[in-house]
Structure 1
Amino acid sequence: MWFPAASRRSVLLGGLVLTGTIAGLVRPAAAWAAQPGFKVPPIIGCDAWGARPASDVVPVWDQRPVRIIAHHTATANVEDYSRAGAEAVARKIQDFHMDRRAWIDTGQNFTISRGGYVLEGRHRSLEVLRGGRQHVEGAHCTGQNVESVGIENEGTYSTVTPPDKLWARLRDMCAYICNQYGIPPTEIAGHRDFKDTLCPGDAFYAMLPQLRTEVANLLGEQLSERAARRASWPLLRPDSTGPAVEAAQHLLRAAGLVDVQPDGHFGERTAAAVRKYQQANRTEEVNGLIGGETWPLLVTARGADQDEVALAVRAVTPGGAVRASALPGMDEWKRLLSADRRP
């Protein structure tokens, strides 16, 4: 979304100031089995939509990104599908990011309007994408900016899905990015996969398996239903219910927040405990949501009460007890907590 906080990374390496490019390892691109069946979408560059100059050197890393992160702008679902409307949105985003967030430029690498116009976000993102060997560091998702391409999608998609024009451009844009960098379509993620945020909206997020499948098809690949779904951290919020909530409550108790009752209902007491936990762990947002930032902290906490951790595992493991000495690792936790735990 427009409003992710992102730390300003230094353009220093080994004590040397670099002139816009940060040295790093180049990851080999995947070799696709078939010729791409997609059309490279037209992309409106920063100069064409009237972007302001960046206020500092835009960091460019000598490595390919490994995933794409989809966002929504959390703005009105306007009916202005024109190019002029798309360019106005790009300018508003840049002004907000530079003037209110004090970032050097627009945070995301690309923006797609509701009318299906694709615009370059951060300067040099288009040039570098065309080269296929480097990546422009953005500011769209802290912890992921060096290795992920960020795409903002205009609108709010909590209860409604994106317009067809936006969806078609997003699909083509993801296929182009995946082809350029050798990114598997399974590595198309949502903002909430890494942060405690509603972004990119419930309705949009639910469509990501479809997006992965459609992008794979354009690249001449096939994804199984399971691969397209991929395990993900469930986003818990007030009034959420179920096994994942109960597991989170046990994990909060394991961390010493024993006022939480493990009843499987995310009430205010649980939300208050989550905010307290987030504050203690200095998460980016202290908002009481449990998403892609707080879950990894909870499941890997050191010094936690292992009996409570075992109860957390049991809550999401149908049919049996779990020994405290046989607790899952991060990937297994994610699978267990995922809303869809089919084999």
Structure 2
Amino acid sequence: MKKLSRRTFGKLSLGVAMSVVVGGTELRLLRPAYAAVATPAIDSTTAWGAAAAKEPINVLNQKPIGIVVHHTTNPNTNDFTRNKAWQVARQIQQSHFNRGWIDTGQQFTISRGGWIMEGRHQSLSILQGGTKHVQGAHVDGHNETHIGIECEGLYMNVTPSLPLWNKLVALIAYICQQYGLTANAIVGHRDLDSTSCPGDTLYSLLPQLRTAVDTTLSGGAVGRMWPILRRNTPATGLAKTMQYLLRARGATITADGAFGPGTETAVKSFQTANGLTSDGVVGAATWEKLIMTLRSGDTGEAVKALQNQLTVQSYPTTIDGSFGTGVNTLVRAFQTNRQLTVDGVVGLNSWNNLAM
């Protein structure tokens, strides 16, 4: 197996990272002994209406030794339905046929709505057996040894959706269990080939993905996943949302999306005031203290944060700080899309999904 380079683990300090809160405590590294994991629901090729493979599938009498994370580079849709996931799976297969391949290249696909699908025929049954490997066509020179997972979407500058992330953790943990692999088997496409795949942001999250998979294999609770923001993080809409929330808590900073020294100082002050580690890093524990429950009729900087993040998530609205009928409609649409309680109230779960 290819030895993982330092950059595979070194992205934690760059871009957007992740952290978790379990029982009110922020955790960044858990490595207890491995335990059995749940089998995730996976839609077969029959379920999503795959065409027959052009040639017989090559099943190798060996276990895979690595798991490669990809992104499809499709636009980041807000259609999280199962029907949309199946449509994407069919489009991918036809695209791969057009390349002259015998079938879908990767073994598994996960939609933005969190639907896991079998990619290449027989991948699901062979995975369930845990002793053989379906040869795919997803990374040159490593198809005989690595399983490929395509994540629907483009993740150069944004994080994957929370449903996708959670199912990615669940699927990889199951694969590791079936083949006796550890979380260190996880690599990005760019680790094995000259490519930008799986996108700068998703690639930067691989250390957190390994930690989450390791925790799942150990029988631990992964907890809620949140993006991590720190000083010199490239300017993003999410950073601007965080700045609006700091302003709502009394900070006198500009909400411009640039995480500079002024924002870092404001974060540290907020952390100190709320009994958190004052490190200037906005991780899970800080997010969960920073967010505010919002509902129709509310006004102010926290509502601007909500409006900004709705816009980031492709639910555009005017950022005027007023939670009126229009914002209520958008919130309910977002909650419906993410399969949350549809009540128009933006609480912990809604904020968590908005941030991803």
User: What TM bracket, shorter-length normalisation?
Assistant: 0.5 to 0.7
1:176-325 to 2 correspondence within 5 Å?
Answer: 176-220=174-218
RMSD after superposition: 1.4
Secondary structure of the residue aligned to 1:169 is helix
* Offset at residue 34 of structure 1 (A): 3.5
Paired amino acid for 1:174:
I
Match of 1:142 in 2: 140
Secondary structure of the residue aligned to 2:69 is strand
1:106-121 to 2 correspondence within 5 Å?
Answer: 106-121=104-119
Match of 1:152 in 2: 150
* Offset at residue 43 of structure 1 (A): 0.2
* Offset at residue 39 of structure 1 (A): 2.2
CA gap 1:65/1:45 in 2 versus in 1, 3 angstroms: same
Match of 1:35 in 2: 35
> Which of 162, 165, 168 matches 1:164?
162
Can you give the 5+ residue segments of structure 2 that lack an aligned partner in the other structure? 1-31, 221-356
Match of 2:127 in 1: 129
The 8 Å contact of residues 112 and 151 in structure 2, kept in 1 or not, is answered as: yes
Partner Cα separation in structure 2 for residue 39 and residue 57 of structure 1:
31
Paired amino acid for 2:45:
C
Task: Select the structure with the greater relative contact order (CA < 8 A; seq sep ≥ 6).
Answer: 2
Match of 2:59 in 1: 60
Partner Cα separation in structure 1 for residue 159 and residue 175 of structure 2:
22
1:83-122 to 2 correspondence within 5 Å?
Answer: 83-98=82-97, 100-122=98-120
Partner Cα separation in structure 2 for residue 217 and residue 188 of structure 1:
14
Please, what TM-score do these two structures have when normalized by structure 2? 0.52
Paired amino acid for 2:167:
R
Match of 2:255 in 1: none
* Offset at residue 221 of structure 1 (A): 8.3
Partner Cα separation in structure 2 for residue 164 and residue 64 of structure 1:
30
Q: How many residues align?
A: 189
Match of 2:48 in 1: 49
Partner Cα separation in structure 2 for residue 171 and residue 144 of structure 1:
22
* Offset at residue 33 of structure 1 (A): 4.2
Partner Cα separation in structure 1 for residue 110 and residue 69 of structure 2:
10
The 8 Å contact of residues 35 and 219 in structure 2, kept in 1 or not, is answered as: no
Partner Cα separation in structure 2 for residue 183 and residue 39 of structure 1:
16
Secondary structure of the residue aligned to 1:152 is strand
Secondary structure of the residue aligned to 1:178 is helix
Paired amino acid for 1:139:
A
Paired amino acid for 2:134:
V
Match of 1:73 in 2: 72
Paired amino acid for 2:75:
A
Secondary structure of the residue aligned to 1:192 is helix
